[in-house]
């Protein structure tokens, strides 16, 4: 049992949490597929924590393609102003 090796994976999970919370604040008008992708993340994380070895940090890499579209729509909002160039 190596506590440092296990804490590395838990630290990655703790850093991933705020990224998911920020991605879940998608603005109205976001495509429905982005919201549906974000609904898959909590059950996936629960299954990973319950049925896998948390010492491996790579088990959460399939979650990044699910969260990144929501994160991009949250952070990079389109300019909807009607100003002329």
The length of the chain is 85
**23-42 confidence digits (pLDDT tens):** 888 888 888 999 999 999 99
Q: Are 41 and 20 in contact (CB under 8 A)?
A: yes
- Give the Cβ contact number of residue 52 at 10 Å: 12
Q: Name the packing angle between helices 64-75 and 32-51 (round to 10°).
A: 140
User: How high is the pLDDT of residue 77?
Assistant: 75
Question: Looking at residue 44, what DSSP letter applies?
Answer: H
Give residue-wise pLDDT tens across range 61-83.
888 899 999 999 888 876 666 66
pTM (whole model) above 0.75 = no
Asked whether residue 84 carries a pLDDT value surpassing 60, the answer given is: no
Give the number of other Cβ atoms within 10 Å of residue 34's Cβ. Answer: 19
Q: Which of 50, 55, 58, 57 is nearest to 4 (CA)?
A: 55
């Amino acid at each position: 049992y190596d506590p440092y090796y296990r804490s590395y994976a838990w630290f990655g999970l703790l850093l991933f949490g705020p990224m998911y919370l920020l991605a879940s604040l998608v603005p109205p008008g976001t495509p429905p597929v982005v919201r549906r992708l974000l609904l898959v993340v909590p059950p996936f994380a629960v299954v990973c924590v319950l049925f896998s070895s948390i010492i491996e940090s790579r088990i959460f890499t399939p979650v990044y393609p699910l969260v990144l579209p929501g994160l991009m729509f949250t952070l990079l909002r389109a300019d909807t102003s009607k100003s002329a160039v």
